[in-house]
Amino acid sequence: MEILPVTCLVPAADSLGEGCMWDQKGACLWWLDIARPSRIHRLDPATGAHRMWQTSLTVTAMAMRQAGGLILAGEDGLYLFDPGTGAISPFARPETDRPNNRFNDGACDPQGRFWIGSMHQNIGPKGEDLPIPADTGALYAVDGKGASVKWEDKVGVSNGPCWSPDGRTFYFSDSKNQVTYAYDFDGAAGRISNRRVLNDTKDYGYPDGATVDAEGFLWSARWEGACVLRIDPKGRIDRVIAMPAERPTCVCFGGPNLDTMYVTSSRAHLDQASMARYPLQGGLFCFHPGVRGTPKFTFAG
């Protein structure tokens, strides 16, 4: 386990922090607290200015839009968000045939499609944990006009969509089944193929949110693993970075040089012993990994 200096930038006390992304144009970091009522966070690291929007819609993932504002994944579909007014409006519903599901993690490909995965609903009306009785999730690609294509099915918990620096490999994790897959990616056609297991270690918790650095290594937040893994393109674990949280949830590179790693975390339903050991759980953390990242792509809509 590698010990690096880790800073808690915002002691947000998020129940289920998720979805962090760096906004290059705005030079700020966005992230979410999924738990009801959801919170949308924005931080300017240069000034420390932190703003929140609260919504009754359960929001689980997001991306910047080329047209301005953001696209959000809500539990029942995709929505557009205007930070200036706080307005949230429906955009697309890729999965209308599975009312017991909700959407989870998502990200844009280099061509501007939003890849979003689903899972069985596991958050109750009062924020309680619900069981996930079956692998009912799927993976969709949604274009700028709202049309969607389903590319995977029978997924336990969809997480960590991201792309290699050359855009030719797509990565996607099933957290419930503790496996991260790699696929061949055809950007022009928006097609994935040749699924294979990249990494299925059971030694470091569950793979959650992920990103890729400029050297082509995958960084994986490890739910219940209290760490972040760096995994090489062949699936070998290269580094294990200790985190001051039992449940790191998502990672992204940010800062002017994309050389800072930001990490969200969860504190929901953790016992007193865990909170005593990691009192800042639910906060937004950062550290300097010694490598640069790749930028997040924007939604073509």
- Mark whether 208 is an active-site residue: yes
φ and ψ at 232, to 5 degrees? -80, 170
Among 200, 184, 18, which Cα is nearest to 117's?
18
Strand order in the sheet with 206-212: 206-212, 218-223, 227-231, 237-242
Distance CA 45, CA 275 (A): 26
Q: CB–CB of 198/160 below 8 Å?
A: no
Intra-chain end-to-end CA distance of the chain, in Å: 42
Distance CA 28, CA 42 (A): 7
Of the residues 143, 208, 232, 271, only one is catalytic, namely: 208
Three-class SS of residue 76? coil
Q: How far is CA 293 from CA 116, 153, 226, 254, 261, in A?
A: 21, 30, 21, 8, 8
- Among all chains, which residue has been given the structure tokens 């930038």? 9
Burial of 127 (0-12, 13-18, 19+ CB in 10 A): middle
Query: Which residues carry out catalysis?
Result: 208
